[in-house]
Amino acid sequence: KAGVTQTPRYLIKTRGQQVTLSCSPISGHRSVSWYQQTPGQGLQFLFEYFSETQRNKGNFPGRFSGRQFSNSRSEMNVSTLELGDSALYLCASSFVLAGGYNEQFFGPGTRLTVL
């Protein structure tokens, strides 16, 4: 099976712009989660989508939003970019294993630089 794919891999934007990142989960996985990774804050949960519905949301401002399509592909959008939004944005797809817990697999990430 192909792994989680994310596009683009690298992105450079300027303050005030908006950006859209894309994630294709592993085939058959219905849940997609997004995380932000920075040296200072580590890995922080942004939100999770399951069957096109947001199921969980982390503690990020409303400038961060996402959506999921019927084929489970997901996009996240960041509006009015700030310097502090520079980070590696990771997408993870998950599958419910026997026993009822989620095993999450991460993509390679999109490196966003805000100038």
Residues that bind other proteins (CB under 8 A): 4, 31, 33, 35, 42-45, 48, 50, 55-56, 58, 90, 92, 94, 96, 99-109
Q: How far is the CB of 15 from other proteins (least distance, A)?
A: 25
Q: Which is nearer to other proteins, 18 or 43 (CB)?
A: 43
First to last CA, the chain: 37
Spatial separation of the C-alpha atoms in residues 101 and 92, rounded to whole Å: 15
Q: Which is nearer to other proteins, 79 or 102 (CB)?
A: 102
Q: How far is the CB of 71 from other proteins (least distance, A)?
A: 18
Q: Which is nearer to other proteins, 81 or 89 (CB)?
A: 89
Contact present, 5 and 72 (Cβ < 8 Å)? no
Buried (b) or exposed (e) across 77-112, using 16+ Cβ within 10 A?
ebeebeeebebebbbbbbeeeeeeeeeeebbebbeb
Q: How far is the CB of 82 from other proteins (least distance, A)?
A: 23
| Paired tokens of 59 | 């503690």
Q: Which is nearer to other proteins, 37 or 79 (CB)?
A: 37
Spatial separation of the C-alpha atoms in residues 39 and 88, rounded to whole Å: 10
Q: How far is the CB of 54 from other proteins (least distance, A)?
A: 10
